[in-house]
Structure 1
Amino acid sequence: MSGVSGLLVVLITIFFPPLGVFLVAGCGADVLVNICLTILGVIPGHVHAFYIEYVYYDRREQAREGRFAARRAPAVYSERVQTGGQGYGTMAQSAA
């Protein structure tokens, strides 16, 4: 199901970048930055939106594999995106 939702978010982002960022990052600074970039020009808004989505899905895949990014992604303000939707940096460790 992840592939279908990712494809849907990309299609939405092609037509309206701030909505794609909102779906991934939630309401916050990333959406405000994307709205401003979209107003300044369509290309900067799209570049920012696709970068946010790339970081989100990459971090999500890393978390599934048990790898966690030690550094924050630059220019991403949402904790949801930074952790790949896995919470706010707190993940339950599996029992050995």
Structure 2
Amino acid sequence: MNKLLLIILAILLPPIAVFLKAGAGKHLIINIILCLFFYVPGIIHSLYVVTR
């Protein structure tokens, strides 16, 4: 998938970007938990997963 599209998606909808990049695993669960409590750490985590 296009990396630029994933970065934009990581800012707007972090769990979906993590799911598309890493699949349904530990990173997705971590990102959902981060997004539930605080939205900004979820964005940071999704950008980390997408760009690594």
Regarding TM over 0.5, the answer is yes
- TM-score normalised by structure 1 residue count: 0.51
Uncovered stretches (5+) of structure 1, i.e. residues with no partner: 56-96
Q: Which has the higher helix share?
A: 2
**Aligned equivalents of 1:7, 1:53: Cα separation in 2:** 10
Over the matched positions of the two proteins, sequence identity in percent amounts to: 35
Larger RCO: 1 or 2 (CA < 8 Å, sep 6+)? 2
State which structure, 1 or 2, has the greater radius of gyration over its C-alpha atoms.
1
Deviation at 1:54, TM superposition (A): 1.8
Uncovered stretches (5+) of structure 2, i.e. residues with no partner: none
Runs of 4+ aligned structure 1 residues displaced above 3 Å come to none
**Aligned equivalents of 2:43, 2:20: Cα separation in 1:** 14
Provide the aligned C-alpha RMSD in A. 1.1
Per-residue deviation, residues 68-94 of structure 1 (Å, max 9, x unmatched): xxxxxxxxxxxxxxxxxxxxxxxxxxx
What is the number of equivalent residue pairs in this alignment? 52
